[in-house]
Structure 1
Amino acid sequence: MSRSPQATHHDTTTPQGPRALLRRHGPRCTPSRLRVPTLLSASDLHLPVTEVCEQLTCPGGAVHPTTVYRTLETLTVAGLTHAVHGPGPTRYGSTGDPHHHTACQQCGHVAALASEHLAEATRSIEELTGLRPDSSRSLLVYGRCASCYG
């Protein structure tokens, strides 16, 4: 899925945040389209569809994974969320300040890494290989997380 070429910080923590963003980006304001960006922004994590479903499930009512998947795809196309395709299931995060990602090749955990922390390394990678960040200005770095290393 594509997303807007330039990520900007979106305030999805207030009730008007997601609603205003959805109206500005075109998708209809459905309950799941309002709850998902708020959840991702509040958790500051990159979550697979199954975890998003678990966290959105209310007592007495389940959220269908297909609804969550379609919501995430719609929000990703609109640039309100982004998808990280790595080992394991695709994980979704809140689009905010530009950042890169690290992904554990063993457990699939994805973490954000502020672009400013890799600015010099990104320039060196571009000079040495010609490889540049994608349209979201993000690089994906694979390795093993501290929990899996050893």
Structure 2
Amino acid sequence: MSRASQAAHHDTTTPARDPRALLRRHGLRCTPSRLRVLTLFSASQLHLAVTEVSERLARAGRAVHATTVYRTLETFTAVGLAHAVHGPGATRYGITEEPHHHTVCQRCGHVAGLASEHLTKAAGKLEELTGLRPDSSGSLLVYGLCARCCR
């Protein structure tokens, strides 16, 4: 993958914070697996599926079983540290403290964050026209084809 396409697939909404402090702030214990998963998300700045998290951790020599990754991400989601994006294929998870929307590729399932400021006016117009509001997280999903799948 070229550097340009890697940059296009990055989600820049993840906070660069101390993982231990972030876990504590959300009332969670700092277990090794939680720290590994949170550190991976902070470093990658991507929305990832459970299998992708497990594979990346294993390649880095910091393996965490897929079941533990799933439970960790569900715990993070329950306390508001992570969010789940359902789209084609596996559910992808992201970690951020900034409200944002998501773009979802209908072909490969890639998810990227889109700062809420870019869609605030459009979301208001959507609500005005249809009565449809963003879900409780405030997130809208925008489906289409990512740059890679359009080639």
Aligned residues: 138
Partner of 2:148, secondary structure, is coil
Aligned runs of 1:51-70 on 2, under 5 Å? 51-57=52-58, 58-59=60-61, 62-70=63-71
Is the contact made by 2:15 and 2:96 (CA closer than 8 Å) also made in structure 1?
A: no
Partner of 1:6: none
Partner of 2:5: none
TM-score normalized with structure 2 length: 0.82
2: CA distance, partners of 1:11 / 1:118: 20
2: CA distance, partners of 1:76 / 1:64: 18
- Structure 1 segments of 4 or more deviating over 3 A? 9-13
Map Cα deviations across residues 112-133 of structure 1 (whole Å, 9 max, x no partner). Answer: 1111111111111010111111
Aligned runs of 1:125-136 on 2, under 5 Å? 125-136=126-137
TM-score normalized with structure 1 length: 0.83
* Alpha-carbon spacing, 1:49–1:38, altered in 2? closer, same or farther (3 Å): same
Point out where structure 2 has 5 or more consecutive residues left out of the alignment. Answer: 1-12
Map Cα deviations across residues 87-140 of structure 1 (whole Å, 9 max, x no partner). Answer: 110001112211100101111011111111111111110101111111111101
Greater per-residue helix proportion: 2
Larger displacement relative to structure 2 (26-35 or 112-121): 26-35
**Percent of pairs with identical residues:** 71
